[in-house]
Amino acid sequence: MSFERAKEYLKQYGLENKVMEFSVSSATVGEAAKAVGCEEEKIAKTLSFIVEDKPILIVVAGDCKIDNSKYKAEFHKKAKMIPFSDVENLIGHSIGGVCPFGIKEGVTVYLDNSLKRFDIIYPACGSSNSAVKLTIEELEKASKFEKWIDVCKSI
């Protein structure tokens, strides 16, 4: 199960106790903010794309979306999201629970600058009814991110 794999992965960083599982859906930013009890912008969305035939994840603030010109400047390609039907197979988590924890080998993780304005953020934890409360430093460590990028704009 994706949730268990993500939670187990977080153990190596001593973060398993920061995982929250809800009796309600947290699949969307709005649902996650209600479940967690925070503002929508503090929900860390993990978006999945294909670059050079390889899957990547970009973790962004909940009040942001991809800016196509910034994305193209960073990756030299037009943004191409992974089709819903392929996300679980390529990433290891299904839509609504995608996170950078316990993912498949070969998936590169990027963190968007939109997250840097927060002390605490809440990414999903492998299921559509979970989240994990992390500092930016904890996210950096646990995500094994490649680098910080600037590919978003406010919604």
Residues of the chain with pLDDT under 50: none
Q: What is the spatial distance between Cα 133 and Cα 131, in angstroms, rounded to a whole number?
A: 7
Structural domains present in the chain: 2-154 (3.90.960.10)
Contact 6, 101 (CB under 8 A): yes
What residue ranges in 13-106 does DSSP mark as E strands? 19-21, 43-51, 54-61, 64-66
pLDDT number for residue 1: 77
Q: What is the spatial distance between Cα 74 and Cα 5, in angstroms, rounded to a whole number?
A: 31
Distance of CA 139 to the CA centre of its chain: 10
Task: Tell me how far apart the terminal alpha carbons of the chain are, to the nearest angstrom.
Answer: 33
pLDDT number for residue 69: 97
